[in-house]
Structure 1
Amino acid sequence: MQKIDFHVHVTPPEISTGVEKIKAREPYFALLAASPKNKFATAEEVVAELDGAGFDRAVIFGFAFKDMGLCRTVNNYVIAKTREFPRRLSGFAVVPPNHPGACAEIERCHDAGLCGVGELFPTGQDVRIEDAAETARFAECCAERNLPVLLHMNEPVGHYYAGKTNTTLQQAELFVEHNPRLKIVLAHWGGGLAFYELMKDVRKKFANVFYDTAASPFLYGEAGYRTASALGVQDKVLFGSDFPLLPLSRYVAEIDRSGIADGEKASLLGGNAARLLGL
């Protein structure tokens, strides 16, 4: 079974060398770029990281800007690199969901071989995901093409860090409610929403919802994997490293220490993602 990292950021050289100009018109990008933890990675560096960690494939995406032109720039890079490394890289497109041209860009990217949309930043892109009217056209476009959508989420409590936003769990719940046909991946364990699947109504409502593990070592540690197992949601959890923020090896060590069963580990490390992506 393939080992798949579902959450990997790539940055084309024209973006990483033009940071100062972009920061002036993209406040959320400026916030993250100013963080001492921020790093940029090329597709080649991602492949090298996969090799070093013993992984087969990564799902890569560029930064989700408010500006459609910048989104097209990073999408073009992702398209080019997934074609250059077809056995190692799968690609997601980024768009501002409330932009009039969002569907056209999603269709262009899908026709070029990309297989999902995200990681999107609801707060950073000024999108009210709880507003059915604002997101309906975007969501329908993705659902029609069976494209999963990856949304940035964060826990509503705990310490502040660059990129922690005010998107609430209730807003995410409404987005899920309004789009039952859409396959949705909530990043960072859904900001803790994964653990609410203990509630029967949430479990039913979230039938098409998945969660990735990005940034887990900063937040939940090895206990998160054991908790997902106890809740019975282990088939909905996707390995995601948030590389280049963290190396893949740090996650693998935590997963090994968690004590989850070998079958659950195989699903987490790639089986669930392969099923979602149809690999």
Structure 2
Amino acid sequence: MIIDSHTHLIPPDVIENWSHYVSRDATFAELFHRSSKTSTAEQLIEAMNKHGIAISVVLGMGWTDNSLNEYVNDYLLESSRKYPDKIVPVTGIVPSSGNQGIYEAERCLSAGSRGFGEIHAYSQSNNLIDFDLMSSYMVMLKEYDYPLIVHGSEPVGHQYPGKGNTGPNVLESFVTKFPDVKIVLAHWGAGLPFYELMPEISSTFTNVLYDSAATTLLYREKVFEVVEKIA
């Protein structure tokens, strides 16, 4: 069985109304332009059937605008209800929005969300190492035994839209503050698998997982072999 653990869905009318959202949401402005290729639930299912993907985990996008975050979350949850054997929803959060963000996270968990993310700390202006900012969300995740998915930023190499600056130091500090919660560090976690050769890192990262999304844009294919040896 093949599971794609990192996909995104965008409601079709969001890209159609690009100019409306680009001025409201920093993450949207960073990642999307008028000709951006996005996927609806139906397009994702078609691609999954074509390529033999059994299940896709669909993530939020780290929006900055609460209304856009809630709208996309509704679409993810609706898509999972429409394709319950194919789509697993992980909904977005806006930690900087105070109680409104916490209420939205609680609502999504009650509606069937299986975790939170993807966090884009840079565009969302989230200080991941601010314990008070993130603790309410992490308590919820620990209670449900669900993960948080965090975008990782390589400290070297080429720039690309959405890269951000959430590098190994920030991610390591964040994991250290919440060692008992499952955390998925996206895009090979800014290279942190290689630092798990250090005993103090591997002993702290016992609840950390990595996804390989965007591998072909970041690393040579050999990265799979190298990380497998480290593990």
Q: Which residue, 25, 48, 51 being the options, matches 1:50?
A: 48
Matched residue SS, 1:16: helix
Query: Please, which of 83, 86, 92 is the counterpart of residue 84 of structure 2?
Result: 86
Number of positions where the alignment pairs a residue of Structure 1 with one of Structure 2: 230
Shift in Å at residue 112 of structure 1?
A: 1.2
Q: What is the root-mean-square deviation in Å for CA atoms of aligned residues?
A: 1.4
TM-superposed deviation, 1:47: 0.7
Aligned AA (1:116): G
* 1:199 equivalent in structure 2: 198
Which residue of structure 2 aligns with residue 224 of structure 1?
Answer: 223
Deviations 1:41-86 (A, max 9, x none): 1011111111111110000123321111111100111111100000
CA contact (8 A) 1:187 1:211 kept: yes
In the TM superposition, what whole-angstrom CA distance separates every residue of 1:100-150 from its partner, at most 9, and x where no partner exists? Answer: 222221221111111111111101111000122222222222222222000
1:151 aligns with 2:150: yes
CA contact (8 A) 1:35 1:162 kept: no
SS in 2 for 1:127: coil
**TM-score between both structures, scaled by the size of structure 2:** 0.95
Q: Runs in 1 of length 4+ with deviation above 3 angstroms?
A: none
**Whole-Å Cα distance in 1 between the matches of residues 2 and 70 of structure 2?**
29
Matched to 1:154, the amino acid is S
SS at match of 1:118: strand
Shift in alpha-carbon separation, 1:47–1:206, aligned structure 2, 3 A:
same
Please give the residue correspondences for 1:36-185 in structure 2 after superposition, counting only pairs within 5 Å.
38-100=36-98, 101-185=100-184
Contact 2:102-2:136 within 8 A present in 1 as well: yes
**Distance of 1:174 and 1:30 partners within structure 2:** 28
SS at match of 1:81: helix
Deviation sequence 1:181-238 (CA, Å, 0-9, x none): 2100000000101111111110010000000001101222221110111102xxxxxx
Q: Distance in 2 between matches of 1:168 and 1:128?
A: 12
- Whichever residue aligns with residue 53 of structure 1, its letter is H
Q: Distance in 1 between matches of 2:196 and 2:221?
A: 19
Gaps of 5+ in 1: 233-279
Equivalent-residue separation in structure 2 for 1:89 and 1:127 (angstroms): 28
Q: Distance in 2 between matches of 1:26 and 1:219?
A: 26
| Counterparts of 1:62 and 1:138, CA distance in 2 | 15
Deviation (angstroms), 1:35: 8.7
Match of 2:188 in 1: 189
Query: What is the CA-CA distance between 1:32 and the residue it aligns to?
Result: 1.2
Question: 1:14 deviation in Å?
Answer: 2.7
Q: Distance in 2 between matches of 1:79 and 1:138?
A: 19
Note the residue ranges of structure 2 that are not aligned, 5 or more in a row.
none
Task: Answer yes or no: is the 8 Å Cα contact 2:153–2:190 preserved in 1.
Answer: yes
**SS state at 1:228 partner:** helix
Q: Which residue of 2 aligns with 1:9?
A: 8
* Secondary structure of 1:94's aligned partner: coil
For 1:126 and 1:35, locate their aligned partners in 2 and report how far apart those are by CA, in whole Å.
Answer: 24
Using the alignment, how far apart are the partners of 1:155 and 1:35 within structure 2? Answer: 27
Matched to 2:128, the amino acid is I
Tell me if the contact between 1:98 and 1:135 (Cα under 8 Å) persists in the aligned partners. no
